[in-house]
C-alpha cells in the first residue's frame, strides 16, 4: 500500500498517537500531519492537508480523527475524489471499503475506544474494494461530483 496520511485535532490526538503506534506494528508507512499537542485547534486546519494528499494521489489513503468524526468527514468529502467514511464499528469499516472504496477512514476520538479503533483500522486496511455493481454506483457519485463542482 502507498503512503497513508493521518491527522487529528486536539480531541483526537490521543487516539491518533495510539493508531500511529499500531500502524508501525502493522508495517504501514504513514505521514503524521498533526496535531502534536492538546491545545485547542480548528479541525479543518489538520483535516485539509490529509484530504488534499488523498485527492491529489500523493497519499493512497488517509485517517482523520476529531471528537465525533463528523466535522472531519464533512470536511474531507469536500475534496474531489475523496470518499471519507465515518465509522464506529468493524462492520461499517469493512463495508466502507468493500462497497464504497472509502479512501479516508474517519473516527470519533471521543466515541470509539482504542481497541475498537485498532480493529476498525486493521479491517479497513485489509479489505479490498469489490468493484462490480459497486463500481457502477461510484461512477454515478463521480458524475454528480463533476456536475456539482463543474469539473
Among residues 66, 87, 106, 120, which one is catalytic? 66
Q: In the predicted model, is pLDDT for residue 1 greater than 60?
A: no
Average confidence (pLDDT) over 24-47: 97
**Sign of torsion over alpha carbons 85, 120, 34, 26:** negative
Task: Inform me whether the pLDDT recorded for 43 exceeds 90.
Answer: yes
* pLDDT at residue 133, as a whole number: 92
Q: What is the pLDDT of residues 69-121, one digit of tens each?
A: 999 999 999 999 999 999 999 999 999 999 999 999 999 999 999 999 999 99
Average pLDDT over all residues of the chain: 96
Q: What domain range includes position 108?
A: 4-149
User: For residue 2, is pLDDT > 80?
Assistant: no
pLDDT at 69: 98
Give the model's pLDDT for residue 49. 98
Instruction: Determine which one of 78, 99, 122, 134 is catalytic.
Output: 99
User: Is the preceding omega at residue 67 within 30 degrees of 0, hence cis?
Assistant: no
- Tens-digit pLDDT profile for residues 12-31: 999 999 999 999 999 999 99
Place of cell 465525533: 68
pLDDT for 150: 77
Whole-model pTM: value is 0.95
The CATH number of whichever domain residue 132 belongs to comes to 3.40.1400.10
Residue 99 among the catalytic residues: yes
pLDDT band at 151 (very low <50, low <70, confident <90, very high): low
**DSSP code of residue 1:** -
| 61 pLDDT above the threshold of 80 | yes
Q: Is 66 a catalytic residue?
A: yes
Total of domains in the chain: 1
Q: Would you say how long the chain is, in residues? A: 151
Amino acid at each position: 500500500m502507498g503512503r497513508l496520511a493521518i491527522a487529528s485535532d486536539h480531541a483526537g490526538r490521543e487516539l491518533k498517537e495510539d493508531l500511529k503506534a499500531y500502524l508501525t506494528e502493522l508495517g504501514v508507512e504513514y505521514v503524521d500531519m498533526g496535531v502534536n499537542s492538546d491545545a485547542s485547534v480548528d479541525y479543518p486546519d489538520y483535516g485539509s492537508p490529509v484530504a488534499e494528499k488523498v485527492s491529489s494521489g500523493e497519499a493512497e489513503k488517509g485517517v482523520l480523527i476529531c471528537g465525533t468524526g463528523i466535522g472531519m468527514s464533512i470536511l474531507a468529502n469536500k475534496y474531489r475524489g475523496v470518499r471519507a467514511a465515518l465509522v464506529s464499528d468493524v462492520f461499517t469499516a469493512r463495508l466502507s471499503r468493500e462497497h464504497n472504496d472509502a479512501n479516508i477512514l474517519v473516527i470519533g476520538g471521543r466515541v470509539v475506544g482504542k481497541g475498537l479503533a485498532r480493529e476498525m483500522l486493521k479491517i479497513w486496511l485489509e479489505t479490498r474494494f469489490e468493484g462490480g455493481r459497486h463500481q457502477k454506483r461510484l461512477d454515478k457519485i463521480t458524475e454528480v461530483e463533476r456536475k456539482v463542482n463543474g469539473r
